[in-house]
Structure 1
Amino acid sequence: MFVFRWLNNQLLKMEWLYNLVGNLVEDVFGLDMTGRLGGSIHFFIYDVVKIFLLLSALIFMISYVQSFFPPERTRKILGRFSGISANILGALLGTVTPFCSCSSIPLFIGFTSAGLPIGVTFSFLISSPLVDLASVILLASIFNWKTAIAYVLVGLVLAVIGGTVISKAKLEKHVESFVYSNKMMEVEQEELAVKDRILFARDQVRDIVKKVWLYILIGVGIGAAIHNWIPETVITAVLGQDKWYSVLLATVVGVPMYADIFGTLPIAEALVLKGVGIGTALSFMMAVTALSLPSMVMLKKVVKTRLLVVFAGTVTMGILTIGYVFNAFGHLLL
């Protein structure tokens, strides 16, 4: 237990980095870490460096594993299952694709055009940006493992339920016709050498970091401002755990935004430290990643209005339910 706690504190929470940045702020910059400016600078540098270090290492490892499951092989695996087991597998496979929802939509088109049930592809589409493994590790580094594991479970349940509802509703005719006519070619996947897999993982790290670095900087900047400049009384007056509308408001605020989950984590961290319920913070994260307006606009190009409304409504109800449940029982996790 001692070894696990030490590894968790040093590798995930990076206490050594926290102390190093603290020395930098106080000894080099001459600022007080307990002051607003010093605290903001410490929060920003520490979180940015920690997130980029963890993100790069995790994406590399996940991408190396993912190199064994290219889209065609993934489609074949999913094609062997049916019913709720296929939805569960689709949701689980979504966790090993570290992409935002916009990046997942081309895979959704490919899976659907290859004949997979739309319920399965929607389970994949929900889980892919919501509960990828890298974000789970980062969530554990910010909060703890109980919170991270609980988040994974509810995210997967949301993906399975969402896909199942869409499957039961028989909404296949509400997918744009060009998706079904865009047939995938059966191409035998070339077996990659270890060197090729390493190069693939390296390129994935570079490409994903290019996509998310700005969102991370913005998210950490907002988190630093919330943590050090906005009084706790103001935050709790609007989003306090005792406010019945806090989860609803956080979800509504998250929808117009577009950011990767890595950019929302520092904001969630700062909100929780200011007394906001964990469910409210997680609802905000989920709304940004699963229901962002740009993602809905892209999805509208491949599905018709009725299917889009059913998808958005199902996910919204799931996020609200998860938020209120976490607020009610979140004290058991923190």
Structure 2
Amino acid sequence: MYYCSALTLLAVLWGLAYTHIAPLSNHLIFDVFGFAQNSPTGLSLEFFIYDTVKILLLLAALIYVIAWLRTAMRVEKVREYLSGKRSVVGYFLGALLGAVTPFCSCSSIPLFLGFITARIPIGVSMSFLITSPIINEIAVVVLWGLLGWKFTLSYLVAGMLAGIIGGFVMDGFRAGRWLQPFVLARMESGPAPQLINYIGKLQKPTIRQRHDFAYNEMASIFKRVWKWVVIGVGLGAALHGFVPDNWFAHNLGTGQWWTVPASVLVAIPLYSNVTGIVPIMESLLTKGLPIGTTLAFCMSAVAASLPEIIMLRQIMQIKLQALFIGYLWVMFTLVGWLFNRIGHSLF
């Protein structure tokens, strides 16, 4: 009873903290410290505080919750369902889960790590990681209102296909072998030793045992990656505040073939969520950037950012990171070329 009450109280406090990050960071930077609302420094600092606290809260909560669930769920049954003959279904479900979760590229990493440590197949987990930052329900509504249903549907199809095909590619390369050793060790270790007897006898572990396992899992992973969250978000915040939007339209608006792969490469160091990128899409289109180049640029900006790459380095070896970034570059380039060719007839 004590642990139930304590966990409920912690959940309430976490929810209050999470919902007040944005107004508190805004108040701290612009009211307490007195930065001008549109100043690059103020915008960067607000972005840094908001995203750092948000991602650290998500990291702690999601790893804890998934580790808690691992003490009860039958991982083998989940893996059996998502593997083998049902792999295509698994990729689709991973991409669909990514589409309905409102995470940016960095915020989706804790859940991705939870999937991996729960031994969900790497292809399914990567389908989620690719799709999650590209699509969410808020962005769909905003996209529909600003750019119409045809563009919105095309964006949704492109995002889902990127995730599904990405899962197939990752499994084809057996990408799981390129995870960091500590992640592989957690995948192979199975349940915590203190839980094996309960699971083997089909008995439920106590709340205390579940808490101990989940807390230890969360604390271990959190200690390993928190500093990289701070560094990654710091770089993203600097780019967010000091790189002007009109630079891209001015330099990549010629419509030549090379502007699409160039726009993808230029967008990778940036850091934005899909809701924030929608107004930029509209701005780039009105300034004359071709529709395919705009789509490739914006999808790359939300799906593969420099902060995300830094954080994923703690989970992935360099080979897997290179495959991940290379796949996104090729996929988004093909999407851009396709829409530059057919865009005038569709929109």
TM-score by length of 1: 0.62
1:289-330, Cα deviation, whole Å (9 max, x unpaired): 111111011111101111111111111100000011111111
AA in 2 matched with 1:81: L
CA contact (8 A) 2:300 2:332 kept: yes
Instruction: Please tell me whether the aligned partners of residues 113 and 184 of structure 1 are also in contact (alpha carbons under 8 angstroms).
Output: no
Q: Distance in 2 between matches of 1:138 and 1:180?
A: 40
Q: CA, structure 1 residues 78+273, in 2 after alignment: closer, same or farther (shift >3 Å)?
A: farther
Who is 2:280 aligned against? 267
| Residues 263 and 297, structure 2, Cα contact 8 Å, conserved in 1 | yes
1:66 alignment partner in structure 2: none
CA shift for structure 1 position 241? 5.3
In structure 2, C-alpha distance between the alignment counterparts of 1:149 and 1:78, rounded to whole Å: 31
1:130 alignment counterpart:
134
Partner of 1:315: 328
Compared CA separation, residues 324 and 113, structure 1 to 2 (3 A): same
Task: Kindly indicate whether residue 268 of structure 2 is the aligned counterpart of residue 255 of structure 1.
Answer: yes
Contact 1:78 1:90 in 2 (8 A): no
Is the Cα contact below 8 Å between 2:109 and 2:129 reproduced in 1? yes
Aligned to 2:111: 107
Find out whether 1:173 has 2:177 as its counterpart: yes
1:178-217 matched pairs, under 5 angstroms: 178-182=182-186
Tell me how many residue pairs correspond in the alignment: 230
Cα pair distance change 1:250/1:96, threshold 3 Å: same
SS at match of 1:294: helix
Per-residue displacement from partner, 1:104-138 (whole Å, max 9, x unpaired)?
11111111111111011000000000112221221
Shift of 1:181: 3.5
Q: Which whole-Å CA distance do the structure 1 matches of 2:96 and 2:143 have between them?
A: 18
1:80 equivalent in structure 2:
81
> How big is the shift at 1:239?
2.5
- In 1, Cα distance between the equivalents of 2:280 and 2:315? 32
Secondary structure of 2:271's counterpart equals: coil
Q: Which moved more, 1:95-104 or 1:245-254?
A: 245-254
Gaps of 5+ in 2: 1-64, 193-198, 208-232
- Whether the aligned pair in 1 keeps the contact of 2:265 and 2:329 (CA below 8 Å) is no
User: Is the contact between residue 255 and residue 291 of structure 1 (CA under 8 Å) also seen in structure 2?
Assistant: yes
Aligned-residue offset at 1:333: 3.2
Unpaired segments of 5 or more residues in structure 1? 1-69, 191-210
Measure how far apart 1:77 and its partner are: 6.4
Q: Does 1:299 align with 2:312?
A: yes
Structure 2 CA distance for aligned equivalents of residues 184 and 322 of structure 1: 42
**TM-score normalised by structure 2 residue count:** 0.59
CA distance in 1, matches of 2:316, 2:256: 36
SS, match of residue 101 in structure 1:
coil
Label 1:241 to 1:149 Cα distance change in 2 as closer, same or farther (>3 A): farther
- Distance in 1 between residues matched to 2:94 and 2:264, nearest whole Å: 25
Q: Which residue of 2 aligns with 1:150?
A: 154
Task: Kindly provide the CA deviation profile for residues 209-229 of structure 1, in whole angstroms up to 9, marking residues without a partner as x.
Answer: xx9xx98xx69x956xx4xxx
Relative to structure 1, the CA distance from residue 292 to residue 313 in structure 2 (aligned partners, 3 Å threshold; closer, same or farther) is: same
> Is contact 1:247–1:283 with CA below 8 Å preserved after alignment?
yes
- From the superposition, tell whether residues 135 and 170 of structure 1 become closer, same or farther in structure 2 (CA, over 3 Å): same
Task: Give the 3-state SS of the residue equivalent to 1:86 in structure 2.
Answer: helix
The answer for the alignment partner of 2:4 in structure 1 is: none
Tell me how large the CA RMSD over aligned residues is: 3.1
CA–CA distance in structure 2, aligned partners of residues 115 and 242 of structure 1: 44
Matched, 1:325 2:319: no
Distance 1:157 1:78, change over 3 A: farther
Residues 295 and 79 of structure 1: is their aligned pair in 2 closer, same or farther, counting only changes over 3 Å?
farther
Describe the superposition over 1:33-74 as per-residue Cα deviations: whole angstroms up to 9, x where unpaired.
Answer: xxxxxxxxxxxxxxxxxxxxxxxxxxxxxxxxxxxxx8558x
